[in-house]
Amino acid sequence: MTAYTGKDLTFSWIWSGGTVSVEGDYRSVDYTPSIEMYDQSAGSDAAKTYITGQTDGSINLSALMQTGGTALKAALKEGNSGTIILGPEGTVATKEKITIPAISQGAKMNYQYNALVELSCSFQQNGVRVDGNY
């Protein structure tokens, strides 16, 4: 299998105010899917066993803040609902496209003396993730 780097990644946040793309400014994006687990162990079971429940997930974005970035901060305001479109290898036909409905937890700003300003934002998955292709 051929490995790939994240340099072609695309990340778009589609919300009621429009679409914000951060692929040129992102540093990292991580998506952590999860699922509820229900313990079905009982009686004389020697080990726990589980059944699965509802799926869930969280997304974390780290990016560089550009001057005049008020539109990005407005888009990422805590409580905004929208949809994340994530293309790990860009938007080339047949490459992976992940669509995740989400709620923004708000933009966290890291202002440093004599360094680039960094923005980070966490999102809570808010519905069914769709795995597909461009």
Q: Is the pLDDT of residue 5 over 90?
A: no
Q: What pLDDT is attached to residue 4? A: 81
For residues 103-112, give the mean pLDDT: 94
Q: For the chain, which residues make up each domain, given as ranges?
A: 6-133
Confidence of residue 48 (pLDDT cuts 50, 70, 90): very high
Predicted pLDDT of residue 108: 95
Under CATH, which architecture does the 6-133 domain have? Answer: Roll (2.30)
R_g of the chain, CA atoms, integer Å? 18
